Amino acid sequence: MRLGLHFFAVLAATAFLLSAQNREKWLLRFSLREGSVLTWHVRIVTKKLVDKKAEFELTEIWLREQVEQIRPNGNLVWSSQVTRCTVNGEVIPASQFDVTTSELTPLGYPSKPITIPPPSINQIDDWLVDLFGSLSLVLPATEVGIGDNWHYQLSVGLKHPNEPRRLTLTYKLERMEKVGEKDCLKISTQVQSPVKLAWQWKDASVIVTGGAKLEGVFWFDPAIGFVRQRKVRLSVNYTLESERWDGFQFVQRTSYVNQTTEVEARLLSPK
């Protein structure tokens, strides 16, 4: 099991919305009082098909986040702690999860560049989940209105011909929409990229080709200024072709992988 806290921990800090004079534009910034606590319920459904063999995993996480410090430049230092976790109904002791910390700028950028080590052959799926799971909500530098788009680029660091080397997320302020009885701003995001990875040794080689697509939605409550709900769907499809010398001849093998991961995070408190 790989939870990928970058993917599952909800970096849904409070957002302070300053409405422009015409009430049609908003200036979005992450801002919350030091010491504030948020609790979340996160539901993760993973479906995987490998060479026609199906796998299913349902993970539920109860998460506590707290603003530990607000720096003079406005950056927010966050701590995240899993308080309860089940995988396919089996309880995973909370003691197995460390408290993690992260620091965000008022726009939601990580204060330090995100670094993800290159993938290994046996951890391709985990690497893709960690890579796309590191992508969260980044707010625009200027005021935005309904229908406006903005973008965020992340350098992955892979070398040619491997892909992806860079990811570009597109965000859009869709509309006002209710979450329960609350009127919220609905912000969508998406990114799509080819996947190409290659390894070469003296007596073996492996080539992975395919693609990945992430689609997500965040709901901001402008009355109190934070995310009430988040939904993300990651789709990964690839072919793995390997060739290995067995001492007598080169043996070739091809595997097909199709995986979808759906995450729904719901704010439990504050109400």
Beta bridge partners, 227, equal: 220
* Stretch (H or E) spanning 213: strand 204-221
Peptide bond into 119 cis (omega under 30): no
How far is the C-alpha of 56 from the C-alpha of 47, rounded, in Å? 5
At 12, the pLDDT band (50, 70, 90 cuts) reads very low
At 30, the pLDDT band (50, 70, 90 cuts) reads confident
- Taking residue 88's Cβ as centre, other Cβ atoms within 10 Å add up to 10
Q: Dump pLDDT digits (tens) for 79-88.
A: 999 999 999 9
Mode of pairing for the β-strands spanning 100-104 and 90-92 = unpaired
Of 74, 85, 103, the C-alpha closest to 8 is 85
Q: Find the domain containing 212 and state its range.
A: 5-269
Of 232, 1, 68, the C-alpha closest to 137 is 232
pLDDT over 50 at 166, yes or no = yes
Q: Dump pLDDT digits (tens) for 91-144.
A: 998 889 999 999 988 888 888 877 777 777 777 888 888 888 777 889 899 999
pLDDT over 60 at 5, yes or no = no
pLDDT (0 to 100) of residue 177: 93
Burial class (CB in 10 A: 0-12, 13-18, 19+), 90: exposed
pLDDT over 70 at 270, yes or no = yes
How far is the C-alpha of 102 from the C-alpha of 66, rounded, in Å? 11
More reliable by pLDDT, 190 or 248: 190
Can you say whether the dihedral through the CA atoms of 107, 262, 191, 24 is positive or negative? negative
**Full-model pTM:** 0.83
pLDDT over 70 at 18, yes or no = no
How far is the C-alpha of 239 from the C-alpha of 111, rounded, in Å? 36
Maximum distance among all Cα pairs of the chain, rounded to whole angstroms: 77
How far is the C-alpha of 190 from the C-alpha of 151, rounded, in Å? 10
Q: Dump pLDDT digits (tens) for 176-229.
A: 899 888 888 899 999 999 999 888 887 888 899 999 999 999 997 777 667 889
Tally of domains in the chain = 1
More reliable by pLDDT, 19 or 74: 74
